[in-house]
């Protein structure tokens, strides 16, 4: 995302192309769109010069998948389906017609309890970064492979502007990581930037955005960093101890900051 022009480039559910963040930048630089998805995102990236199609499976990922299949595809991200402890094919559990079923709100407690049960620091790999140049222009980027054992076709918060990242030259920037399926429902980075626009310090803005999510999903796992246009930065997290790194021209090396829940 370009904080000067508010342009965004994103790709989602893209296969066979390794460099997702570069593909997203190509969308911003060479199209009038904001997001491309699926096979056509791959075709676009390759047509613009990125290597592919490439088999992105590794020995480690294949071994992990084989063990997962042998364990009846557990854990997974499905709910209210049968078979509950198998690899499918899946079908809805019970009668899905709301008119003949319990009130939708009956499932709220169950949904909130599920929270981030399959997401922790070991099974996702989001990298989010913000950069401020000498002219004061701000850019952000996020790259991720998504959650382990996700349902095919799943799109997380990585390519969603305002969720995993957001920037505005006039205010500052934000990056996020964690349970994207929950965090994208709150657009936490948009919230952070808008809170800073109203005068909130980065630390308070980040904490406020995290607490908004935690009030609805007390078991969720996630973290945010915030930086204003003057370079003041802070982080906030829930469900884990979070670390982020900072480098500026005045610093001899990268400095790592630790944030506790």
Q: What is the pTM of this model?
A: 0.88
Based on the number of CB atoms within 10 Å of its own CB, is 228 exposed (0-12), middle (13-18) or buried (19 or more)? Answer: buried
Both tokens of 179, joined, read 């349970």
Ranking 65-79, 92-106, 212-226 by mean pLDDT, the lowest is 92-106
Domains in the chain: ranges and CATH: 1-56 (no CATH), 59-114 (no CATH), 119-259 (3.60.20.30)
Query: Are 247 and 132 within 8 A, CB to CB?
Result: no
Instruction: Say if residue 177's pLDDT is above 70.
Output: yes
pLDDT in tens, 43-52: 999 999 999 9
Q: What is the model's pLDDT at position 147?
A: 87
Percent of the chain with pLDDT over 90: 85
- Prior bond to 53 cis, omega within 30? yes
- What pLDDT sits at residue 123? 54
Residue 145 has pLDDT above 90, yes or no: no
In 3D space, the residue among 199, 142, 137, 132 whose CA is nearest the CA of residue 166 turns out to be 142
Does residue 100 surpass a pLDDT of 50?
no
Predicted pLDDT of residue 120 = 56
pLDDT at 94: 83
Give the residue numbers annotated as catalytic, written as ranges: 126
- Secondary structure element (H or E) that encloses residue 60, with its range: helix 59-70
d(CA 141, CA 127) in angstroms, rounded, equals 8
Torsion from C-alpha of 192, 197, 201, 204, nearest 10 degrees: -30
Which pLDDT belongs to residue 119?
54
Question: What's the pLDDT band for 11 if we cut at 50, 70, 90?
Answer: very high
Q: Is the pLDDT of residue 245 over 50?
A: yes
CA distances to 32, 48, 126, 127, 189 from 26, rounded to whole Å, are 11, 8, 20, 18, 23
From CA 121, how far away is CA 207, in angstroms rounded?
A: 19
**If you average pLDDT over every residue of the chain, what do you get?**
91
């Amino acid at each position: 995302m370009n904080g000067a022009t508010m342009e965004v480039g994103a790709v989602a559910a893209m296969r066979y192309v390794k460099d997702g963040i570069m593909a997203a930048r190509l969308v911003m630089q060479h199209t009038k769109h904001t997001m491309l998805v699926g096979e056509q995102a791959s075709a676009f990236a390759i047509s613009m010069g990125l290597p592919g199609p490439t088999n992105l499976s590794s020995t480690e990922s294949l071994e992990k998948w084989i063990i997962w299949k042998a364990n009846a595809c557990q854990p997974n991200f499905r709910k209210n389906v049968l078979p509950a402890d198998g690899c499918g094919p899946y079908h809805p559990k019970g009668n899905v017609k709301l008119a003949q079923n319990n009130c939708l709100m009956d499932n709220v407690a169950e949904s909130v309890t599920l929270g981030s049960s399959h997401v922790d620091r070991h099974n996702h790999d989001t990298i989010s970064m913000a950069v401020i140049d000498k002219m004061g222009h701000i850019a952000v980027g996020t790259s991720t492979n998504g959650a382990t054992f996700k349902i095919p076709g799943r799109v997380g918060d990585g390519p969603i502007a305002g969720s995993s990242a957001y920037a505005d030259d006039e205010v500052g920037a934000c990056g996020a990581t964690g349970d994207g399926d929950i965090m994208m429902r709150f657009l936490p980075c948009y919230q952070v930037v808008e809170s800073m626009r109203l005068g909130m310090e980065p630390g308070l803005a980040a904490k406020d955005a995290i607490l908004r999510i935690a009030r609805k999903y007390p078991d969720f796992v996630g973290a945010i960093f915030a930086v204003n246009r003057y370079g003041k930065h802070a982080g906030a997290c829930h469900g884990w101890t979070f670390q982020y790194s900072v480098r500026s021209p005045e610093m001899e090396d990268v400095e790592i900051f630790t944030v506790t829940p």
